[in-house]
Amino acid sequence: MGTIELAIPKGRTGTYVPSLLRPRRRAEHALLAVVQDAYVHGVSTRKVDDLAKARGVDGISKSAVSRICAELDAAVAAFRTRPLTGEHRYLWVDATYHKVRVDGRVVSQATVVAVGITREGDRQVLGVDVGPSEGRAYWTAFLWSLVKRGLKGVRLAISDAHEGLKQGVSFPGQ
C-alpha cells in the first residue's frame, strides 16, 4: 500500500497525539525494566550497554542509565518513608553486612531490616536502611524512625540478640 501521511489535529493549546501513534511504548518500557533490573543486580554500565545492543538498541550511555535508574530511587524512597498503619504485634529485626562504595572506597556496612506481623497475621517489610554498623545509636535511630512513621502495638521483638540491637530496642513506650 505504501506510506500513509497522517495529519495530527492541533488542539486549542498543545498537541493531540493519539496512543496509536506511539507503537513502541511497550517495548520502551520493557527496555527500561531490563536496564533497571541489571542496575539493581550490580551489572556495570558497560555491560548494560552490551545488553542493550543485544536487544537491538544502538547503545545506552552511562548518563542514560543513571536517568533511567533515578526512577528506582524515587520508588525506594517512597517505600522507605511510607506511613505504617495498623498494629504490628511481632517485630523481627536483623542486619547483614554488604560491601558498598562510599566516597570512592569499598567498605562493609550494615543493612538493617524490620519485618512486622499484623493482627491478621500478614507479614510486612516495615523498614530497610543501610548504616555504618549495628551500634546502639544506629539501631535506636532506625527503630525511632519506624515509630515516627506509625509503628505501634509491638508485643514481642525478635532478633539475634546483638548487643547494639538489645540496647536500641529497649526504647519507645518502655
User: What global pTM score does this model have?
Assistant: 0.68
Range of the domain at 41: 19-80
pLDDT tens for each residue of 111-132: 999 999 998 999 999 999 998 8
End-to-end CA distance of the chain: 78
Pair (76, 133) in one structural domain: no
Distances from the Cα of 19 to the Cα of 24, 32, 45, angstroms: 10, 19, 32
Tell me what percent of the residues of the chain surpass a pLDDT of 70: 82
Total domains in the chain come to: 2
Asked if residue 5 is part of any domain, the answer here is: no
The reported pLDDT for the residue numbered 5 is 75
Pair (69, 98) in one structural domain: no
What's the mean per-residue pLDDT of the chain? 81
The reported pLDDT for the residue numbered 126 is 96
Asked if residue 35 is part of any domain, the answer here is: yes
Query: At a CB cut-off of 8 Å and minimum separation 6, what does 60 contact?
Result: 35, 45, 48, 49, 52, 68
Asked if residue 4 is part of any domain, the answer here is: no
The CA distance from 96 to 149, in Å, is 23
Q: 488542539: which residue's cell?
A: 11
The pLDDT confidence band at residue 47, using thresholds 50, 70 and 90, is confident
Pair (33, 104) in one structural domain: no
The reported pLDDT for the residue numbered 14 is 55
Pair (74, 95) in one structural domain: no
The CA distance from 170 to 174, in Å, is 7
From 27, 55, 80, give the residue that closes a domain. Answer: 80
CA angle, corner 49, sides to 43 and 55, nearest 5?
Answer: 105
The reported pLDDT for the residue numbered 83 is 96
* Mean pLDDT to the nearest integer, 12-29: 58
- Written as one letter, the residue type at 82 is R
The residue among 23 and 106 whose pLDDT is bigger is: 106
Query: Closest Cα to residue 164, out of 95, 104, 106?
Result: 95
* Mean pLDDT to the nearest integer, 94-100: 89
Pair (45, 98) in one structural domain: no
Quickly count: other Cβ atoms within 10 Å of residue 51's Cβ.
Answer: 17
Asked if residue 11 is part of any domain, the answer here is: no
* Mean pLDDT to the nearest integer, 32-46: 79
Q: Is 56 helix (H, G, I), strand (E, B) or coil?
A: coil
Pair (75, 144) in one structural domain: no
Residue 75, Cβ density class (10 Å: 0-12 exposed, 13-18 middle, ≥19 buried): exposed
From 31, 53, 80, give the residue that closes a domain. Answer: 80
Asked if residue 9 is part of any domain, the answer here is: no
Pair (76, 92) in one structural domain: no
Pair (37, 93) in one structural domain: no
Pair (123, 159) in one structural domain: yes
